Structure 1
Amino acid sequence: MFLTQQDIIELTEWRRGLHRTPEISGEEAGTARTVQALLASAGADRTVTGIGGHGVAGVFEGGQPGPTLMFRAELDALPIQEISEAPHRSQIPGKAHLCGHDGHMAILAALARGLGRQRPRRGRVVLLFQPAEETGAGAAGVAADPKFREIAPDFVFALHNLPGMAFGKVALVEGPVSCASRGMRIVLRGKTAHASMPETGLSPVNAIARLMPALTALGSGGPMDEKFAMVTITHARIGEPAFGIAPAHGEVWATLRTLTDAGMDDLVVKAEHLATEAARASGLSLDVTYSDVFRHCENAPEAVAHLRRALDAEGVAHDRGDLPMRPSEDFGHLGSNAPAAMFFLGAGERHAALHNPDYDFPDELIGIGARVFMRTLRDLLG
């Protein structure tokens, strides 16, 4: 084990410090400064800042030429009120690290300590602390940033803790591991009328009543194969809260979800066709926009093979678990630039679920995740 007991104590406290001061997507400036200080104290050869927003990357150079390995963690927290009574609970109302990104950062901080004491024999290691994972904008912003070319990896690795799975066990598989998804906002506009004479206006009521079940019927889940599709209505609004006005404005928000990006392209075409037909039938204007766009996350076989060897060497039990899974992860954007793989680290079968208000990252996972990553990079770089 490359970490001492004192390291674990200090890294745990560092993680809990992040937990006390969460910052949501796009607002991670303070968290980024904390990471920069950590990388400086660990002796990173170079720190790249402002990548794709508040992203930070620490670079550790090997002694000889070789491949570049990137390990990624996320900076952002969630806009959810924490209800934990832990001493390190969030001090920021309405914001909290309820997905474990603080723990993922601590795992990379552990790598930084180990690399500061012993550089790789060859190549280089890049520790990427990525912004805005929760909105799907972060990895895409990082990959599009010209600064990313300075640290372009030959392999990219990541992990995510997973409540509901045995503590310390790993789920890992080749191919798709998490879904593509996007938020679809459908806006319909007509003309108001007096509620006693609705026929003199153009109301979106019938269009929305038609749209919601039709959208849902495009995908109701099922087996996690290439045909998997799911549409979830998340919000709807018609007119104003008044009794005297027949409405002119309506909105439907839906989350589209498929196993693959190709499946998403097909689902978008179908959903937009339904919206167009519903608007035309009622004489309404239509506006469709998208947000929270996630590509599907694909594990490359060669990257998975490196992780499996490391897991075996470290004695960490692993299988495919319940992969692929329905939730989305923006790590998929980084996988378009180099072979990539993400594994899922069990947080305990009875642990509070991700995004729940009582969730907290299990500190005991810091050492496990760090050992697997360190073994991976030592096997590849020496």
Structure 2
Amino acid sequence: MSTTLAATWYIASQYEQYRLNALERFNNQTGSTQLSHTISDRNLFNHNEHYRISAYADGSNKLVELQFNQQVKFYPGFVKATYSIDTSSPSWQVVGQQLKQPLLNHGSWSASIFSQQGNYRYQVDGFESKPTSLDEYISTGDIVVDGTFALDLSEYSSQLSIAAATIGFAQRVFELEGLSASSTMTLLDDIYDINFSHSSIDSLTAYQLGNTTTATKPLRFKLNDLKLSNGNLHRQGNSSSSTTLTIGALALSANDDIDITLTDARLATKVSNVATSAYINLARFIQQGSQPDALASALTDIDTILANNLQLDIQAFEGDITLASRDEKIAGHYAAIGQIVLHPTNLAQLQTSQPFALIDAKLSLNFSDTMFSQHPLATQLDNFEQHGFLNRADGQFTTSVIFENAQLSLNDQPLQL
């Protein structure tokens, strides 16, 4: 029994120090937004904690305060907490007045002090706004966020899921089903961070409404089975990023005359040699205004960006497309890969050299030879084939565009700039 009490006391003392450090770090980093904290009903095994976040709305002098409660339980080796929003606070009551039903928020987290690991879960119960206007309407199922974290913040993961949601504005309604998004991040000594994120949507439908909610809803947009994944590797001052987007099916009515469908579409890209720190510094310089004393640093950042040999790879761009109007139609399969490389340079060299000489680019493209058979471009494509700008084989047109050493060629045929 004494061993259990001693272990529990140790966990409680470790948590208290961690809580104080986290609270101080949050308030130091957020400026005018402050988090305050009190504890009531404290004993060896339980803490009932109350938090208040205070901030000024939209940079005004109006103070907004949001309150939430947390009950912490201590066990030998780990901590477990459950938390909920205190909807009695005036700010939360304002939110509740905008909704048909109260906005209920609750969640929990637990952490093992010995293993330095934890997990969390946060849930917003499904809610619906008052449909006073078609321009402002939202209804959702349960919104759930959960994940894991390391107590030293060296790694974390999160997962967001929404089963269904309906959003209306500007006489349009968007119906969403099966939204999922996840991300992970890892911090290492020699690598700034590794971040991966994945998002998917089962379906997204958009309608154009009439003057009332019961009016006929003509289909304007329909998306099925979208998946987006992104991976970032940030080293000291340098990073790379890979992105893949896939779409199972997309139908779009741009207006009464044009219909577009896209199926089995995929886009995969990779960006390498990005001078991350220089871009961040330059963005801050632009945002804060061109202060004379910061101009020299900004010019140095531009030189760093130019010297970094930025490279974009289009690893895949493919799908099946149909674009139909009243009199014309384009339909078929397309696929392309390509690359753009910026050669290292600096501002001084740019002033004395041809800018296009610093760029190399290439693109390989193929598409169905019947894609434009019902379009006026069909005759032009035949002319391109006769002049060697296109090759036709196995039901496909193929060609390549290369820009290298300030020289442009199409399907190995030089072109004058």
Shorter-chain TM-score category?
under 0.3
Larger radius of gyration: 2
Relative contact order, CA 8 A, sep 6+: which one is greater? 1
Instruction: Considering fraction of residues, name the structure with more strand.
Output: 2
TM-score (norm 2): 0.20
Instruction: Considering fraction of residues, name the structure with more helix.
Output: 1
